Structure 1
Amino acid sequence: MSTGGAAGRIAGLLERLLGRPLPLGIRTWDGAHAGPADGPVLVIRSRRALRRLLWQPDEIGLARAWVAGEIDVEGDLDAALTSLDDTLRKLGDRGRFTAADRAEVIRLAVVLGAVGPPLKPPPEEVVLAGDRHSKRRDRAAISHHYDVGNDFYELVLGPSMVYSCAYWADGAALEDAQRAKNELICQKLGLRSGMRLLDVGSGWGSLVLHAAEYHGVEAVGVTLSVPQAEYAKQRVADAGLSGAIEIRVQDWRDVADGPYDAIASVGMAEHLGAATWPEYADRLYGLLRPGGRLLNHQIVRSGRPRAGGLARPRRTFIDAYVFPDGELIPIGDVVGRLEAGGFEVRDVQALREHYARTLRAWVANLERGWHRAVDLAGEGRSRVWRLYMAASAISFDAARIGVDQVLAVRPHRDGRSDLPLVRPVGWSL
């Protein structure tokens, strides 16, 4: 369906480039509509969105228009992003645009009044200075993502304040699924009363609180985020566990008070960068006693070649707005790098589907509390979080990314691992 106007012109060009009808509707700033009458609608609110794409015809250009509120989606965001994801991939599979294609795009931009100098990126876009993965730059990267405000994260994450994938059972609520994930980690680490636990990247303290309360450990949690640490310390005090839990603002490279009986690293290794992995594995190995266990829980990327032979863009929406300096590696590389650091890998569990479900629960929380989220963090930042979580769920569904728990042990000199011969029932899928 088309009512002409700007929407009709844009839809006509896209359909010629795609060689098929549009998968979702388009409505433009002049009130025109094109494409399907039912289902989600891509709303182009301003010619400025087209200008951004003329100067930056990639994911970053789209992201800037989204964060600035120049494009939006009406209807089911999940369905719209799935359609857009498929459409952009088909455009990529088509190969490079011809000179005739580029000329047609420019002519349309001129007709629609979208030609002009490049626009300044939204203020939510970040460019970090200094050496990549230096301590100073890592602090800045963590601050960009995590220092949005504890109230904002409470709204999105819910009472558990756990910012990693939950472990879902049928009919479970988010809070129960996050509690189950913390318990799964504690069981894999074999935690018992009197043990020392180090939580690397401890966030708002949920895992160390669970481990101390239900397994009797003495725990240290380290984070680079001051607001996270302050929040976690208050939770520890409120729970009456200040004698059992210490929360530090500290880089993992500066932890030197081993040995620990167990180490958890949950959602932290994604920030490392491939070049930092040898130091990370060596440091954690050195902090564990012989027979001590490491549970490394992290997002990984697929090791398969990209569809259509597409190269990874130089900079992505996630790089520019969400996790600056983050880097995902395949699960095989995670295992190999832990083994290179001296660990024996004993168990790998994939939780990909669990993360897609977790992200959709967070998106639902954000959408229910949208006006408060905007009051707390601003509209641009709230739009970043909504897009990144919804789009990430689709990537998990498509198996382009996954999340895995890797249980490793520092063996004794004679090779003993101190692990049970039979995989305990609690670890089962």
Structure 2
Amino acid sequence: MHTKLSGSPASASSSESASSSLRFAQQLLARAGIGMHGVQPWDMTIKDASVPQRALAEGNLGLGEAYMDGSWDAERLDEFFARLLRAGVADMVNPAALMFHAVKAKLLNLQNRERAWQVGEQHYDLGNDFYESMLDARMTYTCGYWKDASNLEQAQEAKLELICRKLRLQPGQRVLDIGCGWGSFMSYAAQHYGVECVGVTISREQCDWAKARYPDLPLEFRLQDYRDVDEQFDHIVSVGMFEHVGRKNHRGYMETAHRCLKDDGLFVLHTIGKNHRNSTTDRWIDKYIFPNGDLPSIGQIGDAIDGLFVAEDLHNFGADYDKTLMAWCANFEAAWPKFAERMGERFFRMWRYYLLSCAGAFRARDIQLWQWVLSKHGVLGGYERVS
């Protein structure tokens, strides 16, 4: 008979590995002023000893899945991530799995015509009632503009007004909205500026909701891939969609916009962006929130518009996304009792991790929010900036 003792070489080795991972994780977190015993609001509270190993082996994928499992917590998850990213701790954890993810993104077109619909089915089609409880009255699922705003409704209306002014909209003009969502921009522009709009989306839920919501406005909502649009418009807008296009499709996207924009028209591109051209998509976000997402850098957008558009203006208000995400999280948590039975505790932790980790990333200035104003030939006399 052979008895496996707790003090066997295998178990001793495992225990030593766990202790080593714990020490290393503590050293990394200390660089950001974060502890592991829940003393400060942004500290981790470890409930399972495997968490450090999972995080070091899998990066944010392991950390996020451990959080979803309830294996650790933090009172201020948003500030945990803000401090972590500001201190550059995430850059010091580079497991081999990330290398495979980077190579896959570089070699494969993860946002081709077939795969482009996945994000609509997985994320945007969760249920309109769910998003209604989290967003503003127009269902604007992008960064608000908080310059003169004191609440989410004001910030989102200010953002829509800002875009309309940047486009210099005039009554009777026809506008294309690439990735129109639930029609927030289109409805605002039609009601306040007297324009007609065509919007394309890859979410059936969004398309059906918008059609039912705005039957009396001059708006056309299409369940359509942006690559299939082939007609001209006075202006084009794209708000929070370019993040799904993918680096291998950036040029094709801009060629589509160039083809569809009249010679004297303007194109406002509103997109989240990254600071480093060669960085890759966060694996946890890719798996659980936005499949096949790919944030662009300024250089990648510059490459994509080269010879097609003149960059008239570039406006960064990424810090405003922190406030927007925190407002969404407050609404989500307040409404959660209505969805708890349907979606379950694991979804709650997943969604909270998504909103608060992203808020922390914007607070740390690790990611940005840009509005580009583009023209085909340059605005005669120059473009006067709107803010």
Bin the TM-score by the shorter chain.
0.7 to 0.9
- Structure 2 counterpart of 1:423: 384
> How many angstroms apart in 2 are the aligned matches of 1:54 and 1:163?
30
Using the alignment, how far apart are the partners of 1:236 and 1:245 within structure 2? 7
- Offset at 1:255? 1.1
Decide whether aligned partners of structure 1 residues 91 and 236 sit closer, same or farther in structure 2, where only a CA change above 3 A counts: closer
Q: Deviations over 1:318-363 (max 9, x none)?
A: 11111111111212321331133x1121111111111121111112
For structure 1, the residue ranges without an aligned partner over 5 or more in a row are 1-8, 27-34, 97-129, 306-311, 412-416
Check whether the contact 1:285–1:410 (CA below 8 A) recurs between aligned residues.
Answer: yes
Alignment-derived partner of residue 369 in structure 1? 335
CA radius of gyration, larger in: 1
The alignment status of 1:207 with 2:185, answered yes or no, reads yes
Q: Tell me the equivalent position of 2:78.
A: 78
Give the share of equivalent positions with the same residue, in percent. 34
Cα distance, 1:56 vs structure 2: 4.1
2:65 maps to what in 1?
A: 64
Aligned equivalent of 2:373: 407
Aligned to 1:392: 358
- C-alpha distance in structure 1 between counterparts of 2:56 and 2:379, whole Å: 59
Rounded Cα–Cα distance in structure 2 between residues aligned with 1:40 and 1:409: 45
Is the alpha carbon distance of 1:330 and 1:71 closer, same or farther for their aligned partners in structure 2, counting shifts above 3 Å? same
Q: Aligned partners of 1:57 and 1:146: how far apart in 2?
A: 27
How far, CA to CA, are the matches of 1:219 and 1:46 in structure 2?
A: 52
**Aligned-pair distance for 1:372?**
2.6
Q: Which position in structure 2 is the counterpart of 1:293?
A: 266
Cα distance in 1 between the residues matched to 2:55 and 2:371: 42
Give the direction of change, closer, same or farther, for the CA distance of 1:315–1:355 in structure 2 (3 Å limit): closer
C-alpha distance in 2 between matches for 1:59 and 1:329:
20
Cα distance in 2, alignment partners of residues 21 and 217 from structure 1: 52
Which residue, 234, 238, 260 being the options, matches 1:261? 234
- In 1, the alpha carbon distance for the partners of 2:346 and 2:320 equals 28
What is the total number of aligned residue pairs between the two structures? 358
Cα contact 1:155–1:369 (8 A) shared by 2:
yes
Q: Which has the higher contact order (CA 8 A, sep 6+)?
A: 2
Secondary structure of the residue aligned to 1:328 is coil
Q: Provide the TM-score with structure 2 as the length reference.
A: 0.82
Q: Which residue of the partner structure matches residue 119 of structure 1?
A: none
Q: Deviations over 1:147-201 (max 9, x none)?
A: 1111111122132310111111345211111011111111111111111100000
Q: Normalising by the residue count of structure 1, what TM-score does the alignment of the two structures yield?
A: 0.75
CA distance in 2, matches of 1:266, 1:153: 17
Pair 1:54–1:40, CA change in 2 (3 A): closer
Unaligned runs of 5+ in 2: 1-16, 96-107
1:302 aligned to 258, 268, 275, which one? 275
The corresponding residue for 2:303 is 336
Give a deviation string over 1:92-114, Cα, whole Å, max 9, x none.
Answer: 64999xxxxxxxxxxxxxxxxxx
Matches within 5 A, 1:216-255: 216-237=194-215, 240-241=216-217, 244-255=218-229
- State the alpha-carbon separation in 2 of the partners of residues 210 and 250 from structure 1: 22
Tell me whether 38-47 or 260-269 shows the greater mean CA deviation: 38-47
Flag the 1:187–1:60 CA change in 2: closer, same or farther, 3 A. Answer: same
2:102 maps to: none
